[in-house]
Amino acid sequence: MTAIRAAAVLVVGAILGLVIHASGLTARRGPAQATPAQLRVQLEARGHPAALGQAVPWVLLRDAQDRPVRHALPADGRPVVIWFWSCLCRCVRDCEERIVSLLERYPAERVHFFAVASNPDDSTHDIHKLRMSMGSPYVVFRDVEGATARHLGVDASASVAVLDGEGRVRYRGAIDNDLYEPTFSYIDAALEAILAGTPMKHTSAPSYGCRFPLPARAPR
Amino acid sequence: MLGLVACGEPLPVEEVERAPGNFLAGIDETHPIPDRPGFYRKEILSRGYQLEPWRVNVHTEPFRVNPFSREEDVWVTNWHSNTENEQGEREPDDIHCHAIFAMDPVLQDDAQDFRGLFTDGFSPAFTLPEGFAVRIRKNERMMFQPMFNNRRPTTRVARMRLLVDYVPDSKRTREYTELRASVLRVSKRDLYWVEPGQIDRRQREVGAPFQGRIHAIGAHLHPYGELVEMERIRDGHVIASLRMHHAKKLEEERLDILHFPKGLYVRRGEMLRILTVYNNTSDEKIDAMGGLYVLYDPNGKPDA
């Protein structure tokens, strides 16, 4: 029975993931077209993280053809959680159960959720394989050399950035206070505060995930 | 349904590669070793990582290095590691926690069996016994994950440099026995703490996750560490005892590396006791880790 249930979760997860993935990566005419040169300037500017409270209308992610493309973030009144994922960081696997539980507490009608793999060594194939093995019920997009992580001020995998319904960055850091035995959920606290319109008690927390490297110096 | 919509034109890939912040930077080069005919040295320098004050056991996002060879397997006989600051100056070894250089992610919270190398801040040079080597397959892209400590009140930037000496299969002049690796830890958590003035003896019983003959053992300790031991529980035989050799300067302290040319046979599932001793002579709480890095021949047979 357990095996059948696990298989069902995998199949549903796979179908859901593919549908969402396809939807997210459908190239459409966006509200603000930019030339490659303009995008490059924006990419470089993303070495500086957005301030807390600053609106982030779009993030740079790879499309189905592996090309870096701007993706508009939803700003429809629902908070957005961006989970920084990695095939190579074991903390991501350790947190998977907590993330699935979070999605059950905050379904798509209440909160947008997607994951971003910032490590360029995570291939589409590796991501798909790990998602299938864990039965992850969410889509994973590929970052562009860590540009989205840097722009959102996230310095490690197994961390989140939480945006409010107007697309403003409200929290970034670990999902809770301990990888092994968490006693406090920062992400629950952040989402509850945003949904209730109350002040945030925690706007950041140190991550226990795998640290991203500092940006290299600009080439001459 | 997630309302994530692509907008605008794709950015040319070459523009991304030129942009600052690229993950792919760092050094990944190979040179012949002049005084070792047939041998090469692969030099890997990680990107810089920012370490906040008093943050220890900082894991970094693993990255894959270029293959050692695209044409043939290679045999690794020794390696050397150290940490540097942003300007390329040597940093004390206590900033170097440890590093994993392996084919796949190594889940360090339980006994693991893998193929690869391990580094420790107090045993920067690791040489295998004569005739033994870690084999790296052609076209394999090994994964490198440096880990750092910052025990100072200021933010620091650290990079890790790894030098790996190897001989390509076509240039070797002798046979090598291929070794696999395992990490055995004294605690389920990565890190634990020892109170000031306390001698902390900690042990954990674990079933051997491998079977074969052990030919080399290294250890991992933090400052104020004294000893790591591995004991076979059924007869109380201490298989290995590795000590920290203290020095006036922390960066000069060294941890034993043991060689067993004939090998010590261990059966899979055999119960082992890992023991770690810390002597915190300071007046502050200290961070601690303890474990063993075991290199073994999976084809090694039991003693006759």
User: For chain B, what's the residue count?
Assistant: 304
> Out of B3, B46, B141, whose CB is closest to A213?
B46
Substitution target in A39, A92, A154 with the highest count of B β-carbons within 10 Å is A39
Tell me the chain B residues in contact with residue A211 when contact means C-beta distances shorter than 8 Å.
Answer: 49-50, 58-61
B288 neighbors B222 (Cβ within 8 angstroms) = yes
The 10s digit of each residue's pLDDT in B189-244 is 778 999 999 999 999 999 999 999 999 999 999 999 999 999 999 999 999 999 99
pLDDT at B92: 80
At residue A161, the pLDDT reads 97
What whole-number distance in Å separates Cα of residue A187 and Cα of residue A2? 30
- Poorest-pLDDT segment among B4-13, B122-131, B158-167: B4-13
**Residue ranges of the alpha helices (H) in chain B?**
13-18
Alpha carbons B256 and B127: distance in angstroms, whole number: 12
**Residue B279: Cβ within 10 Å count:** 18
Q: Which residues contact B91 (CB under 8 A, 6 or more apart)?
A: B82, B83, B84, B85, B156, B158
Sign of CA dihedral A116, A118, A123, A126: negative
- Report the alpha-carbon distance of residue B66 to residue B44 in Å, rounded: 10
Judge whether B288 and B196 are in contact, CB under 8 Å.
no
Supply A156's token pair. 């490690």
pLDDT for the residue numbered B257: 97
Nearest Cβ partner of B16 from A144, A180, A215? A144
CB contact under 8 A, A70 and B157: no
Domain boundaries, chain A: 2-25+51-205
Residue A148 phi, psi dihedral angles, 5° rounding: -70, -40
Which has the minimum average pLDDT: B12-26, B90-104, B109-123, B217-231?
Answer: B12-26
> Number of A:B CB contacts under 8 A?
191
Which amino acid, A116? Answer: V
A2-25+51-205: CATH superfamily = Glutaredoxin (3.40.30.10)
Q: Which residue of B has its CA nearest to A38?
A: B11
Residue A35 pLDDT:
56
0.90 surpassed by complex ipTM: no
Is 90 exceeded by the pLDDT of residue A60? no
**Which of A58, A120, A208 has the CB atom closest to B24's CB atom?**
A120
Identify any residues that bridge with B278 across adjacent strands, giving them in sequence order.
B200, B225
For A189-208, what is the mean pLDDT?
95
List Cα–Cα distances, A125 to A82, A122, A132, B112, in angstroms: 21, 8, 11, 25
